[in-house]
Structure 1
Amino acid sequence: MSIFRTKDLDAMVAASRRPGGLQRVLGPFDLILMGIGAIVGTGIFVLTGTGALTAGPALPLSFVIAAMACGFAALCYAEFASSVPVAGSIYTYCYATLGELVAWMIGWDLMLEYGLASSAVAVGWSGYFQSLISGFGLGLPTVLTAAPGALPGVATWFNLPALLIMLGLTGMLSLGMRESARLNNIMVVIKVAVVLLFIAVGARHVQPANWQPFMPYGHDGVFGAAALVFFAFIGFDAVTSAAEEVKRPERNLPIGILGSLAVCTVLYVVVSAIMTGIVPYQKFLGVDHPVSLALQYAGENWVAGFVDLGAILGMTTVILVMLYGQTRIIFAMSRDGLLPQRLSTLHPKHGTPYFATWVVGILFGLVAAVVPLNVLTELINIGTLAAFTLVSIAVLILRRTRPDLPRAFRCPGVPAVPLLAVGFCVTLMSYLQATTWLAFGVWLAIGLVLYFGYARSRSKLN
């Protein structure tokens, strides 16, 4: 059936290496910092407070569970990325294994994931930015500080800082990946230094009594928090979107994926343990800057100011990488004919998908300005969990259909590891709210309509 037609892997790789395409400028260090840049942001600086309310002092266990789900999926991603170094991430992998309809749907899903992730982080960025400038006696009119309904009992119209940071980073991305990578690397080094500063200072103020009871809400609380803080690990998969701009992708992509995930897991577990050891978890209710709150609670106000700055830089890099991943997914789908061709045209000077970059930046900048953070977070999680499930299944299929395919990195423990990834992801999805499933179903239904009404007939494989 035409909806299950697949692309030829060898032809895809050959096409990606032709002159005139995206420029290969990224090395392994760039990729690790890109992954850390995408992961360490809202998850550690904002969602740790929400997760603590759900899991209590057992929040580090929630991070470990979420990291295991990501780790198994990351091994599957690493095999694909080293074998099929083509832009598009899991969309491209599914096109080669599960067929065009599945590829379209997961590409449609990834648009939701990356787009809303950049919007959600922009909202968190806005909160820390406003906290920082308030220390200098500055502030914005209340109506411009948050989305409508985001602050109970307060009339707000528009989140102006969230929109402005989205547009600013869109402009940076449109000028070229080399320049964007340099900016990302600088900001990542600074924000990791800030996280290490929090660990060094905060560890002295831990009160073990705050860790009792350790699991006040039982296993349901731990897994519920894991489903929520799973958002904190979203980003390592964005590294695979850079496949066509990486030098020696068969070697460097697995290093970037697994290296960034390992570093971030350690940081999350240590930070969440120290944070809940300083502040009783109940005090995080309604707090959108929990890490700096912990330092203020400990009387380390000067360090709290550095944390606010680190959070701002940290979330800036997350937005940058998520916008980047979104534009490369759209670029790949447009190049295959599933989206309008204009979205895959490259700027003659900068070599970037200029038009697609600005469409994404403006659209999801407006989403960040008018949609509250809690609504965005769960939608992102369910989209990402679905993507991780599919990439794990695709590894099993490709092992059977193309056993001869050269694989610079092989996922260990097949079929156990991919099946564990599927099991973890499906389990975490079951803890998400019914309204999240409903919204996700509506988004996928819209995707089906667009596929049969537009994309299927215009596909280059048609």
Structure 2
Amino acid sequence: MSEGKDNTALARNIGLFALIIYGVGDMIGAGIYGTIGVAAGKMGNAVWLAFVFSMIAALFTGLSYASLASRHPRAAGAAYVTERAFGWEFLSYVVGLAVVFSGLTSMAAGSRVFAQYLQPLVGLPPLWLLFLGFIGLLTLVNFIGIRECVWVNIVCTFVEVGGLIFVIGVSLPYFGSVNYLEVPASVGAISPGLVLSGAVLTFYAFVGFEDLLNLSEEVKNPQRNMPWGIVGAVACVTVVYILVSIAAVSVVPYSRLGDLSLGAPLAQITAVAAPWLPKNTYTFITLFAVANTALMNFIMGSRLMYGMAKQGLLPSVLGTVHKSRRTPYVAILVLALMVSCLAFAGDIKDLASATSLLLLLVFALMNASLIVLKLRKGEQPGKFEIPLFIPILGCIVCFVLIGSRLASAGADPKAPLIALALIVLISILYFIMRPDRSKLVGMD
């Protein structure tokens, strides 16, 4: 064989603009379309503040991820980084699978969003039948196989972003019509605790920027483009989210936005601000956005489970591939069963908060890992170095958000219990599988 170019390496075809668009598409979807209503019901007109605090947590952690990506552009997964920083196999395993399981809670939340928005259109079926049917449809599509997923994602991204920009545009005449610090009478006055608990919920809308690291080996000049891609994507969605949240409460009373029986929140907005638009346009856009996000999570989750099973990190049966479809059908079916159980376990708010709690824990540990690596002598710096105070603040913000949600666990325990149950399951799997360090560093 002649020496030369490595034909087994992935092609580096993704530039900075495409990377930012991919990141925006990964974040925008079920998060903003699905949580703006319940977040407004909780926070009132001050819902935009929850998005601001969520952005702070996402941006600090995004900068830490960007720095880590510039240090380890070929293998910057959460499990690899925590293993490199702390050298503790159990922690690395928990972190790696927590990322996977956060995708399950996100899918479960999406299935309930889909069902609740579809129910007013079809009328009769009970909610549980609709979300089980939705999960079943996703299972079938995933089993059959998906081609040209990147193009599908790009098309979906422009539809979803276009829908949000349209809402902002038609709502501009209503800006300034309400008090943007007003909160529901049931919670009294606005307080740091209220804003932080709301931020845990709205943080769900920022989930996705961490997935950009999975593209590190396909990005041109990753040491430069990965950091700016992450920062650019977070900045873009932050502007959109704050404007959408202000638009929402400017046009429709927050009490109506929080009542999903009245229809999708964005559909309620356009019914007032753009009455000439066909009635169910935004309900269908919302269904489209939620379905796309859930399908992307399902595809990624099933492939991650398949890969981890092949590495000996999960039971080998999950690595079984269908003979004709060439898809990991056992992993797909197991995921579908787990998502169905989670969809029964909590409502949209619970599942979105559980997703946020799992990822906030991962993000806190990623910030802590960067702190350790920056302070360790002999560690090679990356091409995108950040001041030490950024990962420190990122770690603090993540733990403050986690603490604020746990502080209210007595009155609203479902989300913390769901997150805790999944961490316990991960711990049990670790002691059953007993993976060694060489397997852990490549698990995600």
Give me the TM-score of the superposition, normalised by structure 2.
0.83
Give the counterpart letter for 2:30 in structure 1.
T
CA distance, structure 1, for counterparts of residue 232 and residue 295 of structure 2: 19
Partner of 2:356: 381
Deviations 1:158-211, CA, capped at 9 Å, x for gaps: 524421452255257x445xx111110011112211111111112223461354
Partner of 1:239: 212
1:73 aligns with 2:61: yes
Partner of 2:172: 203
Partner of residue 156 from structure 2, selected from 182, 187, 203: 187
Partner of residue 121 from structure 1, selected from 102, 110, 121: 110
Partner of residue 199 from structure 2, selected from 199, 209, 226: 226
User: Judging changes above 3 Å, is the alpha-carbon distance between structure 1 residues 169 and 87 closer, same or farther for their aligned structure 2 residues?
Assistant: farther
Deviations 1:336-355, CA, capped at 9 Å, x for gaps: 532245656899999x9745
User: Judging changes above 3 Å, is the alpha-carbon distance between structure 1 residues 417 and 207 closer, same or farther for their aligned structure 2 residues?
Assistant: closer
In 2, are the aligned partners of 1:37 and 1:317 still within 8 Å (CA)? no
1:109 aligns with 2:98: yes
Partner of 1:9: none
Partner of 1:36: 24
Give the counterpart letter for 1:229 in structure 2.
T
Give the counterpart letter for 2:357 in structure 1.
I
Written as runs of structure 1 = structure 2, the 5 A alignment for 1:320-399 is 320-327=295-302, 329-330=304-305, 333-334=308-309, 336-340=311-315, 354=328, 358-359=332-333, 362-364=336-338, 366-367=340-341, 370-371=344-345, 372-399=347-374
Partner of 2:404: 431
Deviations 1:420-444, CA, capped at 9 Å, x for gaps: 1111111111222422334433332
1:268 aligns with 2:241: yes
Aligned-pair identity in percent equals 24
In 2, are the aligned partners of 1:53 and 1:281 still within 8 Å (CA)? yes
Deviations 1:278-333, CA, capped at 9 Å, x for gaps: 12222234226112112224462516643223323322332244335434644564
CA distance, structure 2, for counterparts of residue 344 and residue 240 of structure 1: 23
1:413 aligns with 2:384: no
Give the counterpart letter for 2:142 in structure 1.
T
Classify the secondary structure of the residue corresponding to 1:52: helix
CA distance, structure 2, for counterparts of residue 168 and residue 252 of structure 1: 36
In 2, are the aligned partners of 1:238 and 1:325 still within 8 Å (CA)? no
Distance apart, 1:456 and its partner CA: 3.4
Deviations 1:355-408, CA, capped at 9 Å, x for gaps: 576356534553476454233222111101101100000111122336442513
Give the counterpart letter for 2:340 in structure 1.
L
How many residues were matched structurally? Answer: 423
Distance apart, 1:32 and its partner CA: 2.2
Give the counterpart letter for 1:36 in structure 2.
V
Classify the secondary structure of the residue corresponding to 1:213: coil
Give the counterpart letter for 1:446 in structure 2.
L
Partner of 1:163: 135
Distance apart, 1:57 and its partner CA: 1.2
Distance apart, 1:68 and its partner CA: 0.3
Written as runs of structure 1 = structure 2, the 5 A alignment for 1:276-291 is 276-287=249-260, 289-291=264-266
CA distance, structure 2, for counterparts of residue 380 and residue 391 of structure 1: 17
CA distance, structure 2, for counterparts of residue 140 and residue 187 of structure 1: 27
In 2, are the aligned partners of 1:158 and 1:369 still within 8 Å (CA)? no
User: Judging changes above 3 Å, is the alpha-carbon distance between structure 1 residues 141 and 246 closer, same or farther for their aligned structure 2 residues?
Assistant: farther
Distance apart, 1:62 and its partner CA: 1.1
In 1, are the aligned partners of 2:71 and 2:380 still within 8 Å (CA)? yes
Q: CA RMSD in A?
A: 3.4
Deviates more, 1:445-454 or 1:269-278: 445-454
Deviates more, 1:357-366 or 1:82-91: 357-366
In 1, are the aligned partners of 2:139 and 2:333 still within 8 Å (CA)? no
CA distance, structure 2, for counterparts of residue 243 and residue 119 of structure 1: 28
CA distance, structure 2, for counterparts of residue 87 and residue 346 of structure 1: 26
Give the counterpart letter for 1:51 in structure 2.
A
Give the counterpart letter for 2:49 in structure 1.
L
Deviates more, 1:122-131 or 1:281-290: 122-131
Give the counterpart letter for 2:336 in structure 1.
I
In 2, are the aligned partners of 1:33 and 1:184 still within 8 Å (CA)? no
Deviations 1:134-164, CA, capped at 9 Å, x for gaps: 3xxxx26413xx22xxxxxxxxx45244214
Classify the secondary structure of the residue corresponding to 2:178: helix
In 2, are the aligned partners of 1:49 and 1:284 still within 8 Å (CA)? yes
CA distance, structure 2, for counterparts of residue 87 and residue 320 of structure 1: 25
User: Judging changes above 3 Å, is the alpha-carbon distance between structure 1 residues 381 and 37 closer, same or farther for their aligned structure 2 residues?
Assistant: same
Partner of residue 253 from structure 1, selected from 221, 226, 230: 226
Give the counterpart letter for 2:91 in structure 1.
V
User: Judging changes above 3 Å, is the alpha-carbon distance between structure 1 residues 87 and 166 closer, same or farther for their aligned structure 2 residues?
Assistant: farther
Give me the TM-score of the superposition, normalised by structure 1.
0.80
Classify the secondary structure of the residue corresponding to 1:112: helix
CA distance, structure 1, for counterparts of residue 376 and residue 6 of structure 2: 26
CA distance, structure 1, for counterparts of residue 183 and residue 360 of structure 2: 27
Deviates more, 1:426-435 or 1:120-129: 120-129
Classify the secondary structure of the residue corresponding to 2:36: helix
Partner of residue 450 from structure 1, selected from 405, 408, 429: 429
CA distance, structure 2, for counterparts of residue 447 and residue 23 of structure 1: 34
CA distance, structure 2, for counterparts of residue 92 and residue 300 of structure 1: 52
1:64 aligns with 2:52: yes
